[in-house]
Amino acid sequence: MVNVGIVGASGYTGGELLRLLLSRQDISVTLATSRKHNGEYVFRVHPNLKSITTLKFSNPSIDNIAKSCDYVFLAVPHGSAVNLVPKLLEVGLKVIDLSADFRLKDPKDYEKWYKFKHPFPDLLEKAVYGLPELHFDEIRKASLVANPGCTSTATILSLAPLVKNNLIDAERIIVDVKIGSSGVGGSPSIFSHHPERTYVVRPYQVASHRHTAEVEQELKRISNKNVKIGMTPHAVDIVRGILSTSYGFTNEKIQLSQIWHAYREAYNGRKFIRLVKDVQGLEKLPDPKYVVGSNFCDIGFELDERFGRIIAFSAIDNLMKGASGQAVQNLNIMLGLDETTGLLIPSLHPV
Amino acid sequence: MVNVGIVGASGYTGGELLRLLLSRQDISVTLATSRKHNGEYVFRVHPNLKSITTLKFSNPSIDNIAKSCDYVFLAVPHGSAVNLVPKLLEVGLKVIDLSADFRLKDPKDYEKWYKFKHPFPDLLEKAVYGLPELHFDEIRKASLVANPGCTSTATILSLAPLVKNNLIDAERIIVDVKIGSSGVGGSPSIFSHHPERTYVVRPYQVASHRHTAEVEQELKRISNKNVKIGMTPHAVDIVRGILSTSYGFTNEKIQLSQIWHAYREAYNGRKFIRLVKDVQGLEKLPDPKYVVGSNFCDIGFELDERFGRIIAFSAIDNLMKGASGQAVQNLNIMLGLDETTGLLIPSLHPV
Amino acid sequence: MVNVGIVGASGYTGGELLRLLLSRQDISVTLATSRKHNGEYVFRVHPNLKSITTLKFSNPSIDNIAKSCDYVFLAVPHGSAVNLVPKLLEVGLKVIDLSADFRLKDPKDYEKWYKFKHPFPDLLEKAVYGLPELHFDEIRKASLVANPGCTSTATILSLAPLVKNNLIDAERIIVDVKIGSSGVGGSPSIFSHHPERTYVVRPYQVASHRHTAEVEQELKRISNKNVKIGMTPHAVDIVRGILSTSYGFTNEKIQLSQIWHAYREAYNGRKFIRLVKDVQGLEKLPDPKYVVGSNFCDIGFELDERFGRIIAFSAIDNLMKGASGQAVQNLNIMLGLDETTGLLIPSLHPV
Amino acid sequence: MVNVGIVGASGYTGGELLRLLLSRQDISVTLATSRKHNGEYVFRVHPNLKSITTLKFSNPSIDNIAKSCDYVFLAVPHGSAVNLVPKLLEVGLKVIDLSADFRLKDPKDYEKWYKFKHPFPDLLEKAVYGLPELHFDEIRKASLVANPGCTSTATILSLAPLVKNNLIDAERIIVDVKIGSSGVGGSPSIFSHHPERTYVVRPYQVASHRHTAEVEQELKRISNKNVKIGMTPHAVDIVRGILSTSYGFTNEKIQLSQIWHAYREAYNGRKFIRLVKDVQGLEKLPDPKYVVGSNFCDIGFELDERFGRIIAFSAIDNLMKGASGQAVQNLNIMLGLDETTGLLIPSLHPV
């Protein structure tokens, strides 16, 4: 039995970790922290867990975490994990950090994109970027996994085979992201107020989204090329889900079969990648509707010969493959288990 | 390994049965029929099942079903099961029928509510009404289970303790139902056309909903009293989910504790019933939002002393506890398994 | 040219008043107050008004209001209008108060339902309940109009003819209300947070909704009978709109034609009442979808002879006929204009 | 009084024309045709028009149209207008055609994009592309106006100033479109079935959308340059509305002020264009939510200096500025009226 703790368990990613871990026979959730809800039943904040667990939130403390856990998930806001992680590592814990605090390798990127000087540049080197489809072996041996961002996960997975195989101009990639409201987390504001958040297609951070840094970093690492991503997110009227649409210019005349080949080679045997490009049926190209609640990443594409571009689509559930599902996938790998353990959950149809 | 077949597997309840059964280690889905989609992969109709199964739809025939199944689910329209069931029973199959064709005990009720003369009145006697919280022991021994309707399930479960304990006037019960769009099944029409079905609160069959017959039948059986239900459904802008709000007049002065007592006694140990009546937290009274994808029935209530009424709420996912989840619960019971096997799935939060 | 001011113009009802009044040739909006947004363009809070007006919010003060207005709308929270109104009346203004502070005639009702002692019981007598279909003549001569609540408007309009004509038992009326998210106003909370407010059918204030008091008051006044209303509201996943479903027990055997007669007689010539009871077409019974943005109240009904009940439906846009549209209707009447001036706006189809 | 007819009045654009025209004092709608609904009240198909009109649908015939109308709107499917238009022109009618049949100047474009040989190439020359912000003077004198497509309107309006002023590389423009469900019209299918159409972000016609031809044509005409558009539409979970996000590569280093200048110059005095680029308020960049029901086109932009791209956004209501609103704007111009007559309707907030 592996003992795991969740720091920041009252948010949506924390709740999703609980949903996934509480049904596991091989795992014991020994700790779910929340300062705000200390002492309260978790099902009051996550009503889906009523009759599933009688766990209560507790206050976080290094001592408590060290005492009760082998593995700990940090589901805290960006900037809160950075000082916690070294202390947790020091007491011998394995850490899966869902924040952005250890995702970037270059400390300068934190100054550029996150506007703060990273206090532990050495840990940035040690941390493994937790995208199993790219870094499986490193994750297995990691003591600190930096769990990727949601839009980054979707975008990297759809672009990596194209960039690696030189099918598109890596310095002129346009990424148009559509994302549901759960991406903002559980804190209400006028922009998430139902009357204002319903019926929107609302662009935001249109030239400055911080996940851009992760995407460029990972695509550079996989291709040893300079990569430039122009990412623009849009809030749409769904709760869970991301569709990332990437546009790449083809350098020369290519065939559709080359694209198929690139994707098949990259994701051969990867259980959570589904290539979706059909001429029949309800899902002809990726659509977040069909991954809600699952850990799948649906990837599809089209070649626009007239224009000279490849359009690559990827759909994920931002709380699953985009956060907590992927975090559990990383845990499985760290534990030496099959990475799909407890995660081959089909989505709901319809939802 | 138990071999099960699903007749009518291309509809929403058929798809939901597949979702629940395909992940079971102790069950093999040997047959999923659809005349319309014969030969096609089921994931083209149920995209959530891509990478979960490579099963294909086949044409239904008694021979095929008999040869390959021990248990068979009928997820066919009302009127289609009635002639199929006797043939399936004859070849020794156990049948769980999700249609309305064997739910009513009195053949006259079919003439009254469904406008047809039932050809097998003897089978109506033999069939067991598949609401495990009321008929567990009979289901265990049944060869034909008539799986309840969705609004009936929600309504009966919230009213049974009140009627049984004589807390409300059984002859003047008002039931106001709110239901999602998946309740109509997978056949498009102008009334389910997205631009017309979005943003609605649309009353329909306001004085003639056929599930009324089941509700009255079951409440009569449990209380040995005359029962009269005035049920009025409304289509609301969700996909899955039912909230049934029942209004009962209190015959005399009663205490809140009596109501608590009635519910606790009725559902003590019943894993799929959650009593929801809280003063804190997100779900203070039942809301279908928090049961989507799960087999739970959330039940809550309030006593309006000023007016002299009890308000009883129950929330279910119409495709789960309202159809396929309950059907699998019935299968579990028929197989002598714990009724919750494969069904203690928490809902998604948020969804 | 009539000069009108709006106190509390940054909320949804304030914004709706602006939308309706800014297009009028005979009216000049001289004042739109908001402490929070003082000095800001109104279109920053109400983006629909961009290019329609360059009006800015100002701070409210009796002097300013007195100086610049003939008529003033109060679109402030309950409890805020009560002390403002006497001062406005004193300086000779005509007041249309959208809050609940002057709707109830009996001061004791404020203690019972609103938990405060009303400081101006004499003004309660003077105030006219601003439901034009019931109190047209009084409104014409009023200097203080108490604009009805949204659920009250819908419910009273559908029940008045039934109660007045003795068609139902007035002491056992059940009212089940479904309401959109704009009803809570513009202040965010976890309960209006998009991920939590989407996909709900959420009961609230199930035995204690304060609009009950207005409904009982008005139905008593019209019928000279004791009236008892059991009202239970449910939040549903739309933004604008209310459907009020009322259930009344028929005292004796009645005919459908009697109900038709009662409604026709009550609302003959009333432009904003549409009787909707059709066997064909998209709207067979009232549905808020088809009144969004309009001042119509769609009323329909059914007689359930088997059960002995009348089901009465009414659909309104809570911000229009349920608040600001009705307030402008009242203004028109006070000004001696046709009550429909500027208000015969069709809803959008589809929306 | 101008007599106008609507051929194909039972669809959404036909209904929207009725909504806009029936409230006009200077216009009489003498004819609303629908073969399917011949003889029926229009309000049965467009319930928003109940109590607004008692008009009935009639069968279309050239005689009838000629007899009763001066101006006629064609709101029929693509391919149906092409043979009707010459006959209507012959009898001296002025025609505003909402279909695509006369939008393209080059007959070869019909073979390429619409797969049919256009039978009246001479009329293509005569037809005026009905985008008033570009072709005001021609529209005034036109007898045949080809009303633009919805995605074309949004995209052309946001790109024209950039292409004309040489601010972006005209041969590498990426356009990512998000569109509501009313865009498909009123015919149900499994893809518009509410359970399947809700919660989607569904790419379709990702490299072959036919509106691409219009966009390229108009941008070429305005700039005398070769233009290449890669347009990719996505269905999102709203009913009305389009957001078109265009990505253009800046040829050289440019300043934000140049972009402002280009837009201001292009749309100075154009009442239906709102430049939306704010640092405060609810709408900081265009969002279709805030144009629903109005004829505005909200345009905004951002300069991404790091990447070297301009991101241009435009939001319209596809049934208004994207179809019927624009058609009425064209009628106004043809009649010599102020183009905004009857069209300065603010959107609803919230909706």
Catalytic residue numbers of A, as ranges: 150
Spatial separation of the C-alpha atoms in residues D64 and D30, rounded to whole Å: 10
- D4's enclosing H/E stretch is strand D2-7
> What residues in chain B have their Cβ under 8 A from chain A's Cβ atoms?
12, 15-16, 19, 22-23, 40-41, 43-52, 182, 239-240, 271, 274, 276, 278, 280-283, 287, 290, 292-294, 296, 298, 344-351
Chains touching B by CB (3 or more pairs below 8 Å): A, C, D
Q: Length of chain B, please?
A: 351
pLDDT at B147: 98
Q: Please name which of A191, A223, A97 lies closest in space to residue A149, comparing C-alpha atoms.
A: A97
Q: Which of A287, A296, A349 sits opposite B51 (nearest CB)?
A: A296
| Alpha carbons C236 and C181: distance in angstroms, whole number | 7
pLDDT digits (tens, 9 = 90+) for C77-117: 999 999 999 999 999 999 999 999 999 999 999 999 999 99
The Cα C151–Cα A104 span in angstroms is 54
Instruction: Measure in Å the smallest separation between the Cα of C10 and chain A Cα atoms.
Output: 13
Q: Per-residue confidence at A251, pLDDT binned at 50, 70, 90?
A: confident
Containing D123, the helix (H) or strand (E) segment is: helix D121-126
Chain D CB contacts of C197 below 8 Å: none
**Other residues' Cβ atoms within 10 Å of the Cβ of residue C187:** 11
Q: What is the pTM of this model?
A: 0.98
- C29-82 pLDDT, tens digit per residue, is 999 999 999 999 999 999 999 999 999 999 999 999 999 999 999 999 999 999
Rounded distance, CA C189 to CA A77, Å?
A: 20
pLDDT of residue C294: 98
- Phi, psi dihedrals of residue B273, rounded to the nearest 5°: -100, 125
Strand partners, B112: none
ipTM given for this complex: 0.97
Minimal Cβ distance to A48: which of B45, B52, B348? B348
A252 pLDDT above the threshold of 90 = no
**Predicted pLDDT of residue B103:** 98
Read off the tokens for D335. Answer: 């009649």
Token couple for C240: 């604008």
Q: How far is C147 from chain B (nearest CA, A)?
A: 25
Among residues D37, D33, D40, D35, which one has the least CA distance to residue D18?
D33
Pairwise CB contact (< 8 Å): C178 & B198: no
Q: Quick check: D251 pLDDT over 90?
A: no
- CB–CB contact C307 B230 (8 Å): yes
Tens of pLDDT, residue by residue over D33-74, are 999 999 999 999 999 999 999 999 999 999 999 999 999 999
How far D242 CA lies from chain B's nearest CA (Å)?
15
* C175 close to C167: Cβ distance less than 8 angstroms: no
Return d(Cα C243, Cα B235) in angstroms, integer: 11
- Residue C248: which of B163, B178, B174, B159 has the closest Cα? B174
Task: Enter the tokens of residue C249.
Answer: 């027990």
Please pick, among C84, C150, C160, C254, the residue that the annotation labels catalytic: C150
Question: Is residue B174 within a helix (H) or strand (E), and if so which, with residue range?
Answer: strand B173-179
Exposure on the CB side of residue C130, measured as CA atoms within 13 A: 34
How many Å apart are CA C286 and CA C278, to the nearest integer?
Answer: 10
Per-residue pLDDT band at C134 (split at 50, 70, 90): very high
Contacts of D274 (CB under 8 A, 6+ apart): C50, C51, D296, D297, D298, D299
Q: Which H, E and C letters describe B240-302, residue by residue?
A: CCEEEEEEEEECCCCCHHHHHHHHHHHHCCCCCEEECCCCCCCCCCCCHHHCCCCCCEEEEEE
* Residue indicated by tokens 């469904």: B114
Does C198 contact A239 at a Cβ distance shorter than 8 Å?
A: yes
Chain A touching partners, 3 or more CB pairs below 8 A: B, C, D
Q: Are B217 and B281 in contact (CB under 8 A)?
A: no
Amino acid at B334: M
> In the predicted model, what is the mean pLDDT of residues C138-159?
98
Per residue in C169-185, pLDDT (tens digit) is 999 999 999 999 999 99
Q: What is the pLDDT of residues B6-38, one digit of tens each?
A: 999 999 999 999 999 999 999 999 999 999 999
Chain C residues contacting A via beta carbons under 8 Å: 12, 180-182, 186-190, 192-195, 197-199, 239
**Contacts C169 to B, Cβ<8 Å:** none
What was the pLDDT predicted at C157?
98
Q: What is the DSSP string of A176-234?
A: EEEE-GGGG-S---TTTBHHHHTT-EEE-STTT-THHHHHHHHHHHHHTS---EEEEEE
Residues of B labelled as active-site residues:
150
Q: What per-residue confidence (pLDDT) applies to B251?
A: 79
Q: Which residues of D touch C274 (CB under 8 A)?
A: 50-51
Running DSSP on this structure, what letter comes out for residue B107? H
Tell me the C-alpha to C-alpha distance, in Å, between residue A170 and each of A165, C129, D251, D277. 10, 68, 18, 30
Q: Which residue of B has its CA nearest to C204?
A: B285
List Cβ neighbours of B3 (8 Å cut-off, separation of 6 or more). Answer: B27, B28, B30, B68, B69, B70, B71
Q: What is the mean pLDDT of residues B226-236?
A: 98
Q: Which residues contact A126 (CB under 8 A, 6 or more apart)?
A: A143, A144
Q: Looking at the predicted structure, is the pLDDT value of residue A49 above 90?
A: yes
Q: Kindly list the strands in the beta sheet with A71-74, ordered across the sheet, starting from the edge strand earlier in the chain.
A: A27-33, A2-7, A71-74, A94-97, A144-146, A128-129
Q: Which residues pair with D234 in a beta bridge?
A: D178, D203
**Interface touch D200/A289, C-beta < 8 Å:** yes
d(CA A230, nearest CA chain B) in Å: 30
Residues on chain B touching A280 (C-beta within 8 angstroms): 40, 44
For residue C41, what are the β-bridge partners?
A: C56
D206: its two tokens: 């990702």
Q: Which residues, at least 6 apart from B170, have a Cβ–Cβ distance to it below 8 Å?
A: B163, B219, B223, B225, B226, B227, B228
Q: Which of D100, D150, D162, D254 is catalytic?
A: D150
Question: For B299-331, how does the pLDDT look when each residue is reduced to its tens digit (9 = 90+)?
Answer: 999 999 999 999 999 999 999 999 999 999 999
Phi/psi of residue D21, nearest 5 degrees: -90, -30
Q: What's chain B's average pLDDT?
A: 97
Residue C251 above 90 pLDDT?
A: no
Cβ-based interface (< 8 Å): residues of D facing B = 12, 181-182, 186-190, 192-195, 197-199, 239
Pair B297, B157: CB distance under 8 Å: yes
Chain A residues within an 8 Å CB radius of B15: 349
Q: Is A277 helix (H, G, I), strand (E, B) or coil?
A: coil
Tens-digit pLDDT profile for residues B157-209: 999 999 999 999 999 999 999 999 999 999 999 999 999 999 999 999 999 99
Residue C296: HSE in the Cβ half-sphere, 13 Å Cα cutoff? 28
Whether residue B237 and residue C232 make contact (CB cut-off 8 A), yes or no, is no
Domains along chain D with CATH numbers: 2-126 (3.40.50.720), 150-316 (3.30.360.10)
Q: What is the pLDDT of residue A65?
A: 96
d(CA A343, nearest CA chain D) in Å = 22
Structure confidence at residue B252 (pLDDT): 84
C346 pLDDT exceeds 90? yes
CA–CA min distance A110, chain B (Å): 31
Place of tokens 């929330």: B315
Which residues in chain B have Cβ-Cβ distances shorter than 8 Å to C191? 282
Give percent above pLDDT 70 in chain B. Answer: 100
Total number of residues shown for chain D = 351
What mean pLDDT comes out for the span D302-308? 97
| Rounded average pLDDT over C246-257 | 94
DSSP at B349: S
Over residues D99-109, the mean pLDDT reads 98
